[in-house]
């Protein structure tokens, strides 16, 4: 099967991490090794979710997750993008909040279409918003843990950095919640509706099969 450009980019990014792991092992740069291994593991999470839970996500979403992890840990920590570009951290948290909230909404939408779960548009939008904020909080805990356990500096300016990360995450998750509500309530065309269309095509068989059983 011919790979899509997004799949090729994902594979190239993961391959670069493998080379970085080998290089940092030979040079005994243990901090770089730790960050690179963590980055590689996190980039494999979307594929693991698809394999174990049989839910397929659009390639663009998978690539977005991989790029976020790559940009956050590999580029941000090893190549000092956080120091060189003042907007780097805020941009990543804003984008991640949008992506994670959208993924949460897609999962809820799949359950809704399968008649496993029924909820009004407002609840679906709130779920997407809450999921995005929850993941943002988990990421801040991860940064704090890495700094405390391994002496890294992922939090940069400490509390100020954490609060701004959460603020931009709230904005990003809020936008997805609004988009999701508008789509479910009025069926208008937006970024959520286009993503949902692709998501439904990828997961058409399991949804249709469940619907037939319910009927």
**28-61 pLDDT, tens per residue?**
888 788 888 988 898 888 888 788 877 788 877 7
Tell me, yes or no, whether 122 and 198 share the same domain: yes
Tally of CB atoms within 10 A around 74:
22
Residues 112-130, mean pLDDT to the nearest whole number? 81
Domain range for 25 is 1-79
Find where tokens 């998978």 sit: 62
For 153-161, the CB contacts below 8 A with 24+ separation are: 154/77, 156/82, 156/89, 161/89
Tell me, yes or no, whether 112 and 177 share the same domain: yes
Spatial contact of 143 and 113, defined as CB atoms under 8 Å apart: no
Rounded Cα distance between 82 and 183, Å, is 36
Rounded Cα distance between 153 and 172, Å, is 25
Confidence of residue 175 (pLDDT cuts 50, 70, 90): very high
pLDDT at 2 over 70: no
Q: Which two tokens stand for residue 195?
A: 């993503």
Tell me, yes or no, whether 132 and 147 share the same domain: yes
Tell me, yes or no, whether 38 and 132 share the same domain: no
Q: Which two tokens stand for residue 144?
A: 């704090």
pLDDT at 116 over 80: no
Task: Please tell me the pTM assigned to this model.
Answer: 0.69
Per-residue confidence (pLDDT) for residue 191, from 0 to 100: 66
Tell me, yes or no, whether 72 and 25 share the same domain: yes
Q: Number of folded domains in the chain?
A: 2
Rounded Cα distance between 100 and 65, Å, is 8
Tell me, yes or no, whether 119 and 168 share the same domain: yes
14-23, 80-89, 199-208: least confidently modelled range: 199-208
Tell me, yes or no, whether 54 and 129 share the same domain: no
Per-residue confidence (pLDDT) for residue 213, from 0 to 100: 42
């Amino acid at each position: 099967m011919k790979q899509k450009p997004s799949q090729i980019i994902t594979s190239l990014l993961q391959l670069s991490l493998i080379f970085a792991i080998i290089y940092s092992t030979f040079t005994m740069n243990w901090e770089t090794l730790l960050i690179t291994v963590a980055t590689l593991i996190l980039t494999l999470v979307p594929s693991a979710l698809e394999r174990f839970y049989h839910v397929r996500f659009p390639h663009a979403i998978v690539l977005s997750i991989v790029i976020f992890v790559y940009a956050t840990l590999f580029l941000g920590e090893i190549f000092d993008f956080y120091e060189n570009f003042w907007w780097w951290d805020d941009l990543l948290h804003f984008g991640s909040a949008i992506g994670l909230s959208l993924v949460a909404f897609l999962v809820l939408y799949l359950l809704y279409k399968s008649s496993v779960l029924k909820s009004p548009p407002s609840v679906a939008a709130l779920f997407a918003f809450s999921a995005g904020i929850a993941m943002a909080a988990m990421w801040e805990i991860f940064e704090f843990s890495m700094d405390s356990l391994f002496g890294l500096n992922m939090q940069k300016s400490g509390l100020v950095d954490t609060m701004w990360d959460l603020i931009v995450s709230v904005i990003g998750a809020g936008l997805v919640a609004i988009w999701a509500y508008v789509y479910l309530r009025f069926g208008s065309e937006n970024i959520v509706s286009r993503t949902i269309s692709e998501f439904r095509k990828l997961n058409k068989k399991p949804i249709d099969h469940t619907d037939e059983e319910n009927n």
